[in-house]
A = this chain, B = another copy of it.
Amino acid sequence: MNLAEKVYRQLKEDIFDFRMLPGDRFSESEVAERMQASRTPVREALYRLERDGYVQVYFRNGWQVRPFDFRYFEELYDVRIVLECEVVRRLCMESDRAERLAGLVTIWCCKPSQRQVDPVDVAFLDEEFHFGLLECGQNKQMEAIHKDVCERLRIVRRLDFYEPGRIQATYEEHSSILDAILSADSSRATRELTRHIELSRNTVRDITVHRIQEARQRYSTDLSRK
């Protein structure tokens, strides 16, 4: 793996885990030193992150972790709804939808005793569910765009499943979406899917503010040192 690639992933993790907080300013050499690399691969990584929407550059005047903006996240959630609903509508018209969804059905339409309970696992599985839907769409570009949108949302979305009750609710919502698709009930499927995504979005919005405040206190030593 490239050094640039390593730096890219590390920076992303730092941002995701709130070690670098929204609004923080930093310089290329600072990152280079921390990552034990020269500025060249760091710059490459930073420009990728900029295109991903995580950081922004100020001309000859440093970088900044993109400040949080809930309008931004909500708009991305909206895009997710549009893309996923489109795929679901198509699926409802396909005769082999049962086979295509078989994998998802075994995971989500199981007995309560067989359900995953760890928030991290469920966050991963939830992502797989929505990616799985897009895979059924037979449109690689739409899939790529959807993946990109989900990636941008990951920073807030992972917090969803720490909220009490959201894991159980997710199981029920997913299985009823799958049920609707299998019944070829397009309007019910899209309605349930939209509701599911909106619920997740609303939960996340409420949590995120607190998480950032927590992180800001946790790393306050680092900041004051500087």
Contacts and interface: CB of A to CB of B under 8 A. Distances in A.
Copies of the polypeptide in the assembly: 2
Contacts of A142: 75, 78-79, 82
Given A48-B51, A83-B82, A72 B145 contact: no
A53 to B, nearest CB: 9
Interface in A71-88: 71-72, 75-76, 78-79, 82-83, 86
A76 B44 contact: no
A125 to B, nearest CB: 26
Category for how many chain A residues contact B: 20 to 34
A71 B140 CA distance: 9
A86 B48 CA distance: 29
30 contacts: A40-B40, A43-B44, A44-B44, A44-B47, A47-B47, A47-B48, A48-B51, A51-B51, A71-B140, A72-B140, A72-B141, A75-B139, A75-B140, A75-B141, A75-B142, A76-B141, A78-B139, A78-B141, A78-B142, A79-B139, A79-B141, A79-B142, A79-B145, A82-B82, A82-B83, A82-B86, A82-B142, A141-B149, A145-B145, A145-B149
